């Protein structure tokens, strides 16, 4: 059964390594029948909010610099606070993430946690990487999925003295493809489940916390009578 889903891969790449991972993620997602995929850079994203708002899944990635996500990608994250966060435009969407660094560890876990927290703030559903830890046995080698052993998302490693033409290695790119396929499949499962249950995502609630309080207990009664002029009526 083919379920149509829209997936956007939004990313920043500083030296040509992370874009290779982003392309592999997109390739993996597009391999799932029914999935349409588009790549968007973090710099382009503020001009393409309509595309991201209409996606079923957003896969996000950036290099890890000094133990956290790169500044251009963080600028994209901050820009979502004005409408996407305030109006719950991404509520209920699928989210996943990837990062890349020159070192094996390089505190890349911090970047994945940062992405997962960002997704949670938008009330999205986070999809982890999936495969078990990779090269951790005496009879395995580097040419294996998840060779650097991450679970929250995909973490690649590219030697800083190599260009994006040769790094990261093929095992990392295959791991990125795995993540893309996994996200597309989960997005289809969620879309089909919602259709069967008749439970569409509740997106686009304006007004911030005042209108997003399901119990109606967080706002003083006088504030609920606030007029459109901004004056509070007694």
Quick one: pLDDT at residue 201? 83
The predicted-structure confidence for 136-147, as pLDDT tens digits, reads as follows: 899 999 889 999
The predicted-structure confidence for 70-102, as pLDDT tens digits, reads as follows: 999 999 999 999 999 999 999 999 999 999 999
How much of the chain, in percent, has pLDDT values that exceed 90? 78
If you average pLDDT over residues 111-124, what whole number do you get? Answer: 97
What stretch of H or E contains 35?
Answer: strand 35-41
User: How many other β-carbons are positioned within 10 Å of the β-carbon of residue 129?
Assistant: 23
Quick one: pLDDT at residue 228? 45
If you average pLDDT over residues 115-130, what whole number do you get? Answer: 97
The two tokens of residue 131 are: 């495969």
* Among 132, 172, 134, 181, CA closest to 154: 172
Q: Give the model's confidence band at 206: pLDDT under 50 very low, under 70 low, under 90 confident, else very high.
A: confident
* Among 162, 78, 160, 152, CA closest to 121: 78
How much of the chain, in percent, has pLDDT values that exceed 70? 91
Q: Give the model's confidence band at 123: pLDDT under 50 very low, under 70 low, under 90 confident, else very high.
A: very high
Quick one: pLDDT at residue 72? 98
At residue 230, does pLDDT exceed 70?
Answer: no
Calculate the CA 177 to chain-centre distance. Answer: 15
If you average pLDDT over residues 207-219, what whole number do you get? Answer: 72
At residue 211, does pLDDT exceed 90?
Answer: no
Q: Give the model's confidence band at 49: pLDDT under 50 very low, under 70 low, under 90 confident, else very high.
A: very high
If you average pLDDT over residues 175-201, what whole number do you get? Answer: 96
If you average pLDDT over residues 11-36, what whole number do you get? Answer: 98
At residue 221, does pLDDT exceed 90?
Answer: no
Quick one: pLDDT at residue 220? 62
* Among 66, 65, 70, CA closest to 10: 70
At residue 234, does pLDDT exceed 60?
Answer: no
| C-alpha span between 102 and 70 (Å, rounded) | 13
Quick one: pLDDT at residue 170? 95
């Amino acid at each position: 059964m083919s379920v149509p889903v829209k997936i956007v891969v939004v990313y920043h790449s500083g030296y040509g390594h992370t874009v290779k991972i982003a392309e592999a993620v997109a390739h993996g997602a597009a391999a799932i029948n029914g999935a349409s995929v588009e790549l968007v850079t973090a710099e382009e994203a503020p001009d393409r909010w309509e595309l991201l708002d209409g996606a079923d899944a957003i896969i996000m990635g950036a290099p890890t610099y000094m133990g956290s996500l790169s500044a251009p990608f963080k600028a994209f994250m901050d820009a979502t606070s004005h409408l996407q966060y305030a109006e719950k435009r991404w509520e209920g969407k699928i989210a996943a993430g990837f990062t890349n660094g020159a070192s094996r560890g390089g505190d890349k876990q911090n970047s994945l946690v940062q992405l997962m927290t960002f997704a949670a703030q938008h009330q999205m559903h986070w999809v982890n990487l999936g495969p078990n830890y990779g090269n951790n046995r005496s009879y395995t080698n580097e040419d294996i999925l998840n060779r650097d052993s991450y679970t929250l998302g995909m973490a690649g490693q590219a030697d800083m003295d190599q260009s994006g033409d040769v790094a990261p290695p093929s095992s990392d790119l295959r791991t990125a493809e795995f993540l893309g396929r996994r996200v597309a499949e989960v997005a289809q499962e969620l879309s089909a489940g919602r259709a069967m249950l008749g439970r569409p995502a509740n997106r686009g609630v304006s007004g911030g916390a005042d209108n997003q309080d399901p119990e109606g207990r967080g706002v003083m009664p006088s504030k609920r009578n606030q007029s459109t002029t901004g004056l509070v009526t007694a």
